[in-house]
Amino acid sequence: MSLLALPPELLVAIFECIDDPATLLPAASSCKKLHTIYDVGKHLILPRVVCNAMGGDGAFTASLLALRIDAILPDYDDLNPADVALFRADVQALKDSASTPTTAECKKCFERVRICQDLEVLYSRFRKDSSTSNVSRLTRTESSKFCVALHRIWLASLYMDSVVHDLCMEPVTRVPLLYNDYSAQDVYDIHCVLEFLGEQVGESLPNQNTPRPRGALQLECLFCGPENLLEAFLKPEKAADYLFNGDWDRPSGHPWNDDLRLVFIRLGLLNATATTLTIPTAIRPIVDPAVHLDLQQCWGCHEQAGFRLWAGNNWDRPPCDLRLETILNFLPGYLKRNAYERPLLAHYLGIEDPLGVQLPSQAPRSTMNRLTSVPHMTVARILQSLCDLPQLVNTMKQTTYVQNCPFFDITNADPLCSVCIRDLVKNRLWILWLSVKVAAAPDEEKKQDCWFGYDCRMQADNPEHAYALNHACPDTWRERNEKQSRHDPSQG
Ligand SMILES: [Zn+2]
Ligand SMILES: [Zn+2]
């Protein structure tokens, strides 16, 4: 019996089982009969498919509510205090109504499904399996919990730009506004996702001029909204524009953890006088580390580093701040601002140096024409070269540097945590650079080492000095001074 011979109500039921928006329309357009059945039944089919794609009713309900609140937001006046109560009453009415989702609402929800899926892949990479490529490795239950939490964060993000903005600024008023409808586990799930988002934001903004108090990034993520967060993660070089372009006041202090404490007190899971947050044992994270007993350890620090470990198999997805255009920042000391060597290394890597215009005018002579850019350079290739460094160095001095480096016998199979992979780059990039520049221009080998090596301040401001001496070397000033004092005790 062919599919098309089935009664229409069964075909509608089959349509309703689809869980991927990308499959629905091709299926509905595959023949005239299916198209007619879809067209007549789409008010039933579409909501079911959206709900399936979102992982269940919880996420769909939150997403629909967010869309409906978003639609009424312009009706309230920020300057009219009476509108706060009116807005809250209208939101409650939206929560209580069970009106069927319209086709337009379903389509908007579809757009959010894609954003949620992309963020889930990142979450899977952060919290479950660092070798996650483009498909999440969360189980169905974990995925569903992640989606519900993310859509609830989306809903909460609307409040920040609304007439109830002021209520969002303090835990005492924010907690009932945002979490009263949820169980303790629901709120904890939201906070699991927020913690991940905050970590990812922190990594996307490695050079924050004003470090934020603990928990502040998570709270800011709550109000940025998932679509801005995803854009920031996909384009880390523009992260600040996506994350902090609102003109709203940022919450002060470190109130984020306090939200959870107040929820647990309200639900009787913590004593009313508890001043610190304790997570009750019955409350479990979305991805439970306790069920993954085969976790690898970091080769560098031997700490249990959770799921975030990097080796050759996932170097193409390094931490957000370890990118080609930021790798020059991993040079030690003032070498990262050396007026002569930095532009040369940028040229070798084939990148446009973001600091280029800020450096003092470059030294008049340059080895640039002898140093060819590596085509299609990637961070993964640099990391491979850093592991291969013992075979790449070409002088006794360079060999000694490699032997003294804490990553002496590392291979591309050894997993490193996010701290240690950065340390690998910090400890070895300058030695790699030294071997590359000497190999390209042997005259570089004849230059004397500056006594202060990569710690010399003058290399950043004085192009002639930067050119005349080698600065890809350690600071030996103290050592030389002590040696001199031993030879000439009157100097002591
Ligand atoms: Zn480590
Ligand atoms: Zn110097």
The per-residue pLDDT for 93 is: 93
Q: Which tokens belong to 468?
A: 């005349």
Question: How far is ligand 1, taken at its centre, from the CA of residue 139, in Å?
Answer: 27
Residues 330, 477, single domain; the answer is: yes
Q: Which ligand is nearest to the CA of 414?
A: 1
Main-chain dihedrals φ then ψ at residue 109, nearest 5 degrees: -65, -40
pLDDT higher than threshold 90 for residue 119: yes
Mean pLDDT, to the nearest integer, of 45-50?
88
Residues 408, 473, single domain; the answer is: yes
**Residue 492 — very low, low, confident or very high, per pLDDT cuts 50/70/90?**
very low
The per-residue pLDDT for 170 is: 83
Half-sphere exposure of 376 (CA within 13 A, CB side): 1
The per-residue pLDDT for 12 is: 82
Q: Which ligand is nearest to the CA of 421?
A: 1
Residue in the block written with tokens 């090596």: 453
Q: Which tokens belong to 386?
A: 């850093």
DSSP H stretches of helix in 272-356: 341-349
Question: How far is ligand 1, taken at its centre, from the CA of residue 416, in Å?
Answer: 5
Residues 338, 288, single domain; the answer is: no
Residues 392, 465, single domain; the answer is: yes
Question: How far is ligand 2, taken at its centre, from the CA of residue 471, in Å?
Answer: 6
Residue in the block written with tokens 């439970």: 288
**Residue 148 — very low, low, confident or very high, per pLDDT cuts 50/70/90?**
very high
Mean pLDDT, to the nearest integer, of 396-415?
92
Q: Which tokens belong to 326?
A: 């930021």
490 against 10, higher pLDDT:
10
User: Of 436, 435, 433, 428, whose CA–CA distance to 409 is shortest?
Assistant: 428
User: Of 203, 215, 213, whose CA–CA distance to 310 is shortest?
Assistant: 203
Could you tell me which residues are beta bridge partners of residue 416?
310
**Contact, 379 vs 322, CB < 8 A?**
yes
pLDDT higher than threshold 70 for residue 213: no
DSSP string, 409-433: T--TTS-B-HHHHHHHHHHHHHHHH
The per-residue pLDDT for 210 is: 57
Residues 430, 322, single domain; the answer is: yes
Q: In the structure, how many helices (H) and strands (E) does the chain have?
A: 22, 0
Question: How far is ligand 2, taken at its centre, from the CA of residue 464, in Å?
Answer: 10
Percentage of the chain beyond pLDDT 90 is 45
pLDDT higher than threshold 60 for residue 166: yes
For 398-449, strand residue ranges (E) read none
For 255-310, write each residue's pLDDT tens digit: 677 889 999 999 999 999 988 888 999 999 999 876 765 667 889 888 765 668 89
Q: Which ligand is nearest to the CA of 301?
A: 1
Cα–Cα distance between 433 and 297 in angstroms, integer?
Answer: 29
Domain that holds residue 317: 312-483
Among residues 237, 264, 293, the one where a domain terminates is 293
Could you tell me which residues are beta bridge partners of residue 304?
297
pTM (predicted TM-score): 0.83
Mean pLDDT, to the nearest integer, of 85-113?
90
Q: What is the dihedral of CA 79, 83, 85, 88, to 10 degrees?
A: -110
| Cα separations in angstroms, 449 against 9, 136, 342 | 82, 50, 16
Residues 343, 237, single domain; the answer is: no
The per-residue pLDDT for 293 is: 57
**Contact, 216 vs 254, CB < 8 A?**
yes
Question: How far is ligand 2, taken at its centre, from the CA of residue 458, in Å?
Answer: 5
Q: Which ligand is nearest to the CA of 466?
A: 2
**Number of structural domains the chain divides into:** 2
Element (H, E) at 50: helix 32-54
Residues 435, 330, single domain; the answer is: yes
Residues 334, 478, single domain; the answer is: yes
Residues 379, 461, single domain; the answer is: yes
Question: How far is ligand 2, taken at its centre, from the CA of residue 95, in Å?
Answer: 67
Q: Which ligand is nearest to the CA of 453?
A: 2
For 30-43, write each residue's pLDDT tens digit: 888 888 888 888 88
For 240-253, write each residue's pLDDT tens digit: 788 775 555 565 55
Question: Does a structural domain hold residue 53?
Answer: no
Cα–Cα distance between 301 and 406 in angstroms, integer?
Answer: 11
Question: How far is ligand 1, taken at its centre, from the CA of residue 80, in Å?
Answer: 54
Cα–Cα distance between 462 and 360 in angstroms, integer?
Answer: 8
Among residues 293, 325, 346, the one where a domain terminates is 293
Q: Which ligand is nearest to the CA of 447?
A: 2
Q: Which tokens belong to 377?
A: 């350079």
Q: How many Cβ atoms from other residues are within 10 Å of residue 202's Cβ? A: 16
**Residue 162 — very low, low, confident or very high, per pLDDT cuts 50/70/90?**
confident
Question: Does a structural domain hold residue 92?
Answer: no
